[in-house]
Homo-oligomer: A and B are copies of this chain.
């Protein structure tokens, strides 16, 4: 099985059966041997909650980074891109409460200060420290410089190998998230085994290409950066690239994968890739499930497309439709909005060949309303997780895109909270 096949197989498998073929392990990101983590409260969040996280591999290791494609790139995105360019990093420092985006030269300076301060405390090169920020865009971080740097020092001093430390790190990056998002799996095959573990944050401003705010994953598998980078990009495309909470793309997105190489006997690359994709997929699902104001997770399965890309694009068009998502909020089996959303996309299809199912119930057959029991359909739509299948009847391309419903609470969160 090639690495590409591995991703495809897992990509269709992990939605709904997240990582079942792998052993779940405890310890969060610290399940990877040698990893230290910490989360501390530095006063960046008005609430006084944890707001600075550190992940430390103990020495420079292989690293791969995938970042936002937004033209507006936050200062830490630029700094991390430069520091990870050599494929090596030791530590990641993350802060919530301020995105350090649209902050100009002052923002760049403070992102570098953060890395410099962490490097001094760790005793490593500044280029071995990656930085991430999340929170309000366009608010200067400079006035909080002292709290930030003190917090970084405190986090490094506090970092250790416990589950509690991993959990604190996952909590420290939360903004509108209602729960921390952490996953850890052990993957084994005839050659050996490895752990893939990490955490993510994200709840709003979540859109494909790519979608997450921040995600840090570590593995003890020995994967050189030049191999790791394309694997991570591909796994991100199959996971964070297929979710949407609100169709809005952040200026701060970053997925960082550290490979320590400490596993004594590692599994084959396809087993590792499957596990990586499973962890990213589980974290992506966690993000949608915790989407701002979301009451329901919606899995849009697009089948019968002319290609995978066509299926992904149509799935995104449906996921980004506020009319589709408000219908799900209302439990309304309004399949006409699904077809209208697809029709507005650039991907050609034949409406007369389309079938739509809500759960097991066919609501549209050959582009026309099927007779169905509205009560049964409403019962399907009342569930916390909904599967919608759109069969285009054209080819064998398929993809699953995850979204959530658009509720009153989304409006409340985003009308009243400056993000």
Name A residues whose Cβ lies closer than 8 Å to a Cβ of B: 69-73, 99, 101-104, 136-140, 204-205, 207, 246-251, 320-323, 326-327, 329-330, 332, 334-337, 339-345, 348-349, 351-352, 364, 366-369, 406-408, 410-412, 414-416, 418-419
Q: Smallest CB-CB separation from A337: which chain B residue? A: B137
Kindly state the separation between the CA atoms of A348 and B69 in the bound complex, as whole angstroms. 12
Which residues of chain B are near A321, meaning CB under 8 Å?
Answer: 247-248
Interface of A, secondary structure class, is loop
- B residues within 8 A CB of A340? 70, 72, 101, 137, 205, 248-251
User: Given the known A-B contacts A323-B204, A339-B137, A344-B249, are A408 and B419 also in contact in the complex, defined by CB atoms under 8 Å?
Assistant: no
Name the B residues within 8 Å of A335 (CB-CB).
Answer: 138
Chain B residues whose CB sits within 8 angstroms of the CB of A416 once the complex forms: 330, 332
Instruction: Tell me whether A322 and B323 are in contact in the complex, defined as CB-CB below 8 angstroms, given that A102-B368, A137-B336, A415-B329 are known contacts.
Output: no
Copies per assembly: 2
Nearest 7 A/B pairs, CB to CB:
A137-B336, A330-B415, A138-B336, A72-B343, A326-B414, A249-B344, A104-B368
Interface contact A140-B369, CB-CB below 8 Å: yes
Set of chain B residues within 8 Å of A345, measured between Cβ atoms? 71
The residue that A322 contacts in the complex, of B322, B337, B367, B368, with Cβ under 8 A, is B322
Residues of B contacting A330 in the complex (Cβ-Cβ under 8 angstroms): 414-416
